[in-house]
Amino acid sequence: MINDIDLSAWTKVGEGGFGTTYINEKEPNIILKISHNSDGQIVDMSNEFYASRAVYELGVPTPEMIEMVRVGGGIGIKSEQIKNKKSLARMCGDNPADIDRLAARVAELVKQLHKIDASGKEWLPSNKAIMLEALAKTKILRGKKLNEVMAFVEGLDDSPKLLHGDLSLGNLIFSLPEEKPYWIDLGRAAHGVPMFDIGHLYLFCNIFSKQKRVHELTHMSEEQIVQFWNSFALAYNGSDGLEAFTTECKRFAALDVVLITYTHPVNWHQRLFLGLLAKSMFK
Ligand SMILES: Nc1ncnc2c1ncn2[C@@H]1O[C@H](COP(=O)(O)OP(=O)(O)O)[C@@H](O)[C@H]1O
Ligand SMILES: [Mg+2]
């Protein structure tokens, strides 16, 4: 059974890309997350609940999912509230001198995440399969380029390794002062080759980092976000073959662009921009 809740008893504490988080002093260990669509309606987040719970069950450091609740026509999520938390983005923005150290730490955490086998979890679908569906329907690539991208994805291993699905600087929080990490925002968690996550992070750090909206969300400047990426790439890959690694990151970033137009509504203007972007990155 899914209980109804009255949002007026809750206090807003945070905002992410689409989600808003609330707390309530009567339930001090809980955080409530709801999400709005572009029309302002509260959406059904049950998929995020089940995917996040599956990730938790695999032993990943992530808040425990407690229950789904009905809020104004949608489904919100109650989860374990992480106390004294600060997001990776906020930590970098508050203390830019710490960016290189944090990037190296995150590289290790990402590697640990990608060691986990997610096979057999129905809520953690194949990212390769999703990608092929997105390519079959895409309006941003066509002809020879589309065939080339499709052949690339078909040639990928359908790896059982866990993927975060939205690896970015706002989706890792640390509980202070121990700096205990927790992965959050796992609604798109899946399984597949780790480069899907790395390509998504590349896109966030090197392309979307130019957007004012991202500076507001992360409290970081474009230069700081790019610095984070450069340190991350070095720690993740090592200095050998960094150029080839970057080329590979861009290919997966191009795939991520196709995925964005599949999962989010985009207008013709955005479609044009994203099409050119995908083409320029897939070399
Ligand atoms: N379990 C939690 N405990 C404490 N804070 C949280 C928790 N989950 C999310 N938050 C806070 O809410 C913000 C938005 O959450 P997130 O799940 O990333 O939403 P969105 O989908 O909007 O990006 C995070 O940056 C974080 O500060
Ligand atoms: Mg988020």
22, 56, 184, 263, best to mutate for ligand 1 pocket (most atoms within 8 Å of CB): 184
pTM for the model stands at 0.96
Whole-number pLDDT of residue 1: 87
Rounded to 5°, the CA angle 182-178-54 comes to: 20
Whole-number pLDDT of residue 39: 86
Domains, the chain, with CATH or none: 3-80 (3.30.200.20), 85-281 (1.10.510.10)
Residue 97 CA from chain centroid, whole number: 25
Whole-number pLDDT of residue 245: 98
| 65-71 and 19-23 beta bridge pairing | unpaired
Percent of the chain with pLDDT over 90: 94
* Nearest ligand, measured from the Cα of 184: 1
Whole-number pLDDT of residue 45: 97
Tokens describing residue 112: 């640990």
- Between the CA of residue 78 and those of 22, 28, 46, 163, 265, what are the distances in Å? 9, 12, 11, 23, 27
Q: Using CA positions, which residue lies closest to atom 1 of ligand 1? A: 81
* Nearest ligand, measured from the Cα of 15: 1
Q: Using CA positions, which residue lies closest to atom 18 of ligand 1? A: 185
Question: Residue 137 — pLDDT band, cuts 50, 70, 90?
Answer: very high
Do the Cβ atoms of 18 and 83 come closer than 8 Å?
no
* Nearest ligand, measured from the Cα of 17: 1
Instruction: Measure the CA–CA gap between 76 and 199, rounded to whole angstroms.
Output: 29
Question: What are the pocket residues of ligand 1 if the criterion is a CB atom closer than 6 Å to any ligand atom?
Answer: 14, 16-19, 21, 31, 33, 63, 79-82, 85, 87, 170-171, 173, 184-185
In this structure, the number of other CB atoms found within 10 A of the CB of residue 244 comes to: 10
Question: Residue 38 — pLDDT band, cuts 50, 70, 90?
Answer: confident
Residues 6 or more apart in contact with residue 265 via CB below 8 angstroms: 38
Whole-number pLDDT of residue 9: 95
10, 21, 56, 264, best to mutate for ligand 1 pocket (most atoms within 8 Å of CB): 21
Return the axis-axis angle of helices 268-281 and 242-263, rounded to nearest 10°.
Answer: 160
